[in-house]
Amino acid sequence: MKHLHRLILNSATWKQELTLSNDSAEAEPALRRTEPRRLDAESLRDGILRVTGELDLTAGGPYVATKTDKQGQVIVDEEQAGARRRSIYLQQRRTAPVNFIGTFDGPAHNPVCVQRVSSTVALQSLSLLNSEFIHLRARAFAKRLLEGSGESLNAKETLNQAFELAYNRPPTSDEISAADEFIQEQATIYKEQKDARERVWTDFCQMLLASNAFLYVD
């Protein structure tokens, strides 16, 4: 299908810009913009791993086994080979779907899923705040930002790089102000810790990954 995708994306129609006059925008409010669409469960997991620099793009081979932890959550063992492969390679069991995938409306296997739903529930936000998967990814994201920088990479440069990796754009002035305030508050909390800088940026990276700007395609 790649040749077809290339044909479409290089066409003049695809490249056209939608510019509306005030009159037409008032007459057709729906033309102002499309509705934001949340990433599906697999794309969300893969996107998080991609941003942190951990995504394993190895193609083919056996599935990645899952397990049940002490809390009864079905997870991917971080210590096993292939734990960070794309979600399409995760073991799929009707009786034990991966909790992170299921929380974000992954396909139901029992009964068979014929159409996906898209819900917004509190458990999704709680998962992005408390799950071990997100904590590990936020730490990896922070290490990617700080790796090799020492003290030479100032906060502004690190902040810009974080937004470019997570959102593929630079931060706005309001986002810079909010981020600076958050970073200063976390620095105060961790000032007695030896790894204070990494902890601060880990918390900040987790907030980026848990934000609507990351979760939704606008």
Looking at residue 26, what is its pLDDT?
57
Using an 8 Å Cβ cutoff, are 160 and 171 in contact? yes
Looking at residue 148, what is its pLDDT?
55
Q: Classify the phi-psi angles of 117: left when phi > 0, otherwise alpha if psi is within -120 to 50, otherwise beta.
A: beta
Looking at residue 116, what is its pLDDT?
79
pLDDT in tens, 146-185: 885 555 456 788 889 999 999 999 999 999 999 999 999 9
pLDDT in tens, 99-111: 898 888 888 777 7
Q: What is the mean pLDDT of each run of 10 residues along the chain (218 residues)?
A: 92 77 56 73 94 93 89 88 92 86 82 77 90 94 80 73 92 92 92 89 94 88
CA dihedral 209, 5, 35, 37 (to 10 degrees): -30
3-state SS string for the chain: CHHHHHHHHCCHHHHCCCCCCHHHHHHCHHHCCCCCEECCHHHHHHHHHHHHCCCECCCCCCCECEEECCCCCEEECCCCCCCCECHHHECCCCCCCCHHHHHCCCCCCCCCCCCCCCCCCHHHHHHHHHCHHHHHHHHHHHHHHHCCCCCCCCHHHHHHHHHHHHHCCCCCHHHHHHHHHHHHHHHHHCCCCCCHHHHHHHHHHHHHHCCHHHHEEC
Looking at residue 134, what is its pLDDT?
94
